[in-house]
Amino acid sequence: MNYKITLLPGDGIGTEVVSAAVKVMKAAAEKFNITFSFNEQLIGGCSYDKHGTPLTDDALSVCYDSDAVLLGAVGGYKWESLPQHLKPEAALLKLRKALGLFTNIRPAKVYTPLLSASTLKPEVLEGTDILIFRELTGDVYFGEPRGYDEEKGWNTMVYTREEVVRIARNAFDVAMKRSKRVTSVDKANVLDCSQFWRKVVHEVHKDYPEVTLNDMYVDNAAMQIVRNPRQFDVILTQNLFGDILSDIAAMITGSLGMLPSASLGTKYALYEPVHGSAPDIAGQGKANPLATIASVAMMFAYSFQMNKAADLIYDSINKTLEAGYRTADIFSPGTILVSTAQITDTVIENFNLIFDEQALGVFTL
């Protein structure tokens, strides 16, 4: 089986973390008897510098012809003064809309070796495994009218029934395979749009009687995520709130460099780390590639239905962390500071080791 992958490294550390993830993909391909065909395209500031637009139609066409898209990061100081529609970040909205990506899945799972990397107490974090389902095509990001003048600025928060139904079903379907608990996060006490969201979510919930549904206001959810994260399993929420809550959840994992994501539609899929382009460390070998590598694990699970390969990648990350290897963002006294390339090579070594041990019927703790 050959899979066509579009690579969009983007700006800053995006090129470094995507390169690292590709190495892991190639290692997994060898073990699982598959092949990848990679097609690299520009996105973000580098695309603007060359083509005058953050995302070209040609690059989009390549994405349309792929089995999955792997994105690094976009943005940087040099493009901040550009008009909104030409900024690197505009490419992300265009890409999501063009590919019809409506479900953004962001896991916030605490690796035991990283319990001390967070500013939160280890006893609060241990055992946390949250899956955030963020709706990706509605809300203030796409609502019209929008704009600003000298006196005011305005955005429109809007959702259609179809948009709420499809993301809710995805969340409930996954919850059925986990602990059968969903927390729907909104602001229904003050926002009409959130009242509509809550109404439709509850209608969909009737088809999933085994799942426990709990409603929570977004301000309380933000507090609860850092107070008692283990109370959550699947979080279902609107576009704006999901954007904020998933970054808050990064504090649980110890660093934004640990947070992967998958953006799924009916036909296309995009995988990317949650972190930004970090231009201040770009090209220095300091970037943490683990979020991008974990995003590849999500690709294996969601796009290729290769759950064993996905689990092996997660196990390899954990084994690497257990051995004490850390990039600068998760480094602490007593651990081993390594570069982007070094931690990637260690993940691959552990992947091969675990695969070979399991093939021989040897299972290690």
* Whether residue 192 lies in the annotated active site: no
Ranges of residues in the chain whose predicted pLDDT is under 70:
362-365
CATH class of 119-253: alpha beta
| Distance separating alpha carbons of residues 8 and 98, to the nearest angstrom | 15
| Distance separating alpha carbons of residues 276 and 273, to the nearest angstrom | 8
Instruction: Output the pLDDT for position 364.
Output: 44
Active-site residue (options: 11, 139, 186, 243): 243
Q: Which helix (H) or strand (E) holds 300?
A: helix 290-302
Instruction: Output the pLDDT for position 93.
Output: 87
Q: Where are the beta strands (DSSP E) in the chain?
A: 2-10, 35-40, 68-73, 101-109, 129-135, 147-148, 153-154, 181-186, 212-217, 234-237, 260-265, 269-273, 325-326, 336-337
Q: Helix 218-227 and helix 239-253: axis angle, to 10°?
A: 10
Instruction: Output the pLDDT for position 256.
Output: 79
Strand 147-148 relative to strand 101-109, pairing: unpaired
Active-site residue (options: 65, 219, 280, 356): 219
Active-site residue (options: 141, 159, 268, 302): 141
**Interval 267-314: pLDDT, tens:** 999 999 989 999 999 999 999 999 999 999 999 999 999 999 999 999
Active-site residue (options: 23, 87, 187, 319): 187
Domain ranges in the chain are: 1-107+256-365, 119-253
1-107+256-365: CATH architecture: 3-Layer(aba) Sandwich (3.40)
The amino acid present at 283, given as its one-letter code, is: G
Cis peptide upstream of residue 145 (ω within 30 degrees of 0): yes
Instruction: Output the pLDDT for position 193.
Output: 97
* Whether residue 65 lies in the annotated active site: no
Active-site residue (options: 215, 247, 311, 315): 247
* Whether residue 243 lies in the annotated active site: yes
User: Quick one: the chain helix, strand, coil %, rounded to 5?
Assistant: 50, 20, 30
**Interval 22-74: pLDDT, tens:** 999 999 999 999 999 999 999 999 999 999 999 999 999 999 999 999 999 99
Strand 147-148 relative to strand 336-337, pairing: unpaired
**The domains spanning 1-107+256-365 and 119-253 adopt the same CATH topology:** yes
